[in-house]
Amino acid sequence: MRQPVPAAVPRARLGEAPAGGSDSGAVVSLRGAELSYGTRVVWQGLDLEVRPGEFLAVLGPNGSGKTSFVRALLGRQPLSAGTLTVLGGSPREAGRHVGYVPQQAELSAQAMLRARDLVRFGIDGHRFGPRPRTGAVRRRVDEILASVGASAYADVPLGMLSGGERQRVRIGQALATDPRILLCDEPLLSLDLNHQRAVTELVDARRRSHGTAVVFVTHEINPVLGLVDRVLYLAPGGHRIGTPEEVLTSESLSRLYGTRVDVLRVQGRVVVVGAPDGPAAPPHHTHETAHETAHETAPGAVPQTEEVRP
């Protein structure tokens, strides 16, 4: 792993045995985890510990279970086997300490909300009863908007913001509860390169300053390649966990997909050639332990298309 614990993070936050963490200090711990919908096994045999301040990228083709992984961490989707603890307890109990940046959401319900409203929901939306509208809350909202560079459009309805501006506000909303874990589900979708960079820098700054663990689902590794400590690669044939250098190799992805996949490194970028990315991934039929061993490939995991992902 590259730099599992950012130097800027106070030791108490990183926690050798932090309150609300597991014995190992992990903020997320999965053991033999399996997630199924009916008879459809999406992933299985998942053993993973995410540490404070770690940046974990979750990669994989359409339908490989990336969003389901995030939903499990949020306590919205139960495992079908194995165990999952978040901050040492159940995912639901940990909810208040988990920030969530969803995929670019349907805007219709939020279009008239102002940026500051969304961030305020992040602060007090979890609470029952009357919401405090104190000066302290207003000041906190302003601080958060400033920290994500969104002060200039604090009072603009979301429907009038660009995709990149909205993502800044959503990150602000996710940071409003001072989370120890930040879950981001494809936050870069439909953003141009400048906005991708701005969003990834915001997320990285947060984990470096506060030791917030980041679980970052993405189709595209390159915008976060320099930040990622480890990759969880979900594929039709199983999964693999390791550093980008370990996982993103021709040998590793060829084993995961059960077909020839070439991983090229061009000017510091990763280019994957030949990985199928169809929406209908077949169910798993085999599994092994994670880390250095790729799972066997399920029958039928044959590429329909050849894809180059720059």
Residue ranges binding ligand ATP (CB under 6 A): 37, 42, 60, 62-68
Decide whether 142 or 220 has the Cβ nearer to ligand ATP. Answer: 220
Decide whether 43 or 55 has the Cβ nearer to ligand ATP. Answer: 43
- CB-CB neighbours of 143 under 10 Å: 13
Smallest gap from residue 70 Cβ to ligand ATP (A)? 8
Smallest gap from residue 61 Cβ to ligand ATP (A)? 7
Most distant CA pair in the chain, distance: 60
Smallest gap from residue 35 Cβ to ligand ATP (A)? 8
Beta strands in 138-268 (DSSP E): 181-185, 213-217, 230-235, 238-242, 262-266
Smallest gap from residue 12 Cβ to ligand ATP (A)? 35
Tokens describing residue 292: 């250095």
Decide whether 58 or 198 has the Cβ nearer to ligand ATP. Answer: 58
Decide whether 66 or 168 has the Cβ nearer to ligand ATP. Answer: 66
Decide whether 22 or 167 has the Cβ nearer to ligand ATP. Answer: 167
Tokens describing residue 48: 């993973």
Residue type, position 61, single letter = P
Comparing C-alpha atoms, which of 2, 68, 4, 62 is closest to residue 207? 4
141 CB contacts (<8 Å, ≥6 apart)? 116, 119, 120, 123, 154, 176
Smallest gap from residue 309 Cβ to ligand ATP (A)? 13
Decide whether 145 or 275 has the Cβ nearer to ligand ATP. Answer: 275
Q: How far apart are CA 30 and CA 45, in angstroms?
A: 9
Angle (CA) 168 52 31, round 5°: 110
Smallest gap from residue 219 Cβ to ligand ATP (A)? 7
